[in-house]
């Protein structure tokens, strides 16, 4: 059994975007804050800190989860993927390109989590219908787009991928 006293700092190793990062954290530090402040991966955005807005969503072992509702010490031994992890060295991922093409973003605050949640959806359901896209993204708030263009983006990315598959 491991016990860390209040305010004591503990060394942990997190697997983020395929790389191991060793950092010192207090147990009370949220995964979202460690990703941003200790790892400098600022694509993960923190909005409401109560699990409602979805902006901090990252993939934990491939599944979308809220990084504001998880302590960093709990993320040891799991594969964390942030928006930086799905962005190619140069250019855009197919989903990112579809968001650009369909104006699926304006201010961009919700976008990284929208992309990550959509990545997970398309891995699970490569050809989702509109209702499935809306259900999957219902936990991600966007105050700019009215969602229609986001849904269009995801559906188009899925269509492009299946077209490629068919070739």
Calculate the CA 122 to chain-centre distance: 14
Using CB under 8 A, which of the segments 15-23, 44-52, 92-100, 143-151 binds other proteins? 44-52
Using CB under 8 A, which of the segments 35-43, 46-54, 89-97, 150-158 binds other proteins? 46-54
CA distance 84 to 74: 21
To the nearest whole angstrom, how small is the minimum distance from the Cβ of residue 166 to other proteins?
28
CA distance 79 to 97: 25
CA distance 101 to 8: 48
Do the beta carbons of residue 115 and residue 95 sit within 8 Å? Answer: yes
**Phi-psi domain of 81 (left: phi exceeds 0; alpha: psi -120 through 50; beta: other):** beta
- Print the binding letters for residues 102-141 with other proteins: x by CB under 8 A, - otherwise: ---------------x-----------------xx-xx--
Do the beta carbons of residue 41 and residue 49 sit within 8 Å? Answer: no
- Print the binding letters for residues 79-108 with other proteins: x by CB under 8 A, - otherwise: ------------------------------
To the nearest whole angstrom, how small is the minimum distance from the Cβ of residue 64 to other proteins?
4
Q: Which helix (H) or strand (E) holds 57?
A: strand 57-60
Of 54, 104, 112, 128, the one binding other proteins (CB under 8 A) is 54
To the nearest whole angstrom, how small is the minimum distance from the Cβ of residue 108 to other proteins?
19
Whichever of 61 and 107 has its CB closer to other proteins, that residue is 61
73 binds other proteins (CB under 8 A): yes
Q: Residue 163: CB partners within 8 Å, gap ≥ 6?
A: none
* Residues near other proteins, by CB under 8 A: 1-7, 10, 26-30, 33, 49-51, 54, 57, 60, 63-66, 68-71, 73-74, 77, 117, 135-136, 138-139
């Amino acid at each position: 059994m491991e016990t860390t006293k209040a305010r004591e700092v503990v060394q942990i190793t997190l697997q983020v975007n395929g790389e191991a990062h060793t950092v010192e954290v207090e147990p009370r530090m949220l995964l979202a804050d460690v990703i941003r402040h200790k790892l400098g991966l600022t694509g993960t955005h923190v909005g409401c800190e109560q699990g409602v807005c979805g902006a901090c969503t990252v993939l934990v072992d491939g599944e979308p989860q809220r990084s504001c509702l998880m302590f960093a010490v709990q993320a040891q031994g799991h594969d964390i993927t942030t928006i930086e992890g799905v962005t190619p060295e140069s250019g855009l991922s197919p989903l990112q390109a579809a968001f650009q093409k369909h104006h699926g973003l304006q201010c961009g605050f919700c976008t990284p989590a929208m992309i990550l949640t959509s990545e997970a959806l398309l891995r699970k359901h490569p050809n989702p219908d509109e209702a499935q896209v809306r259900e999957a993204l219902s936990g991600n708030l966007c105050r700019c787009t009215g969602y229609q263009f986001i849904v269009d983006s995801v559906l188009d990315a899925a269509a492009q991928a299946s077209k490629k598959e068919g070739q």
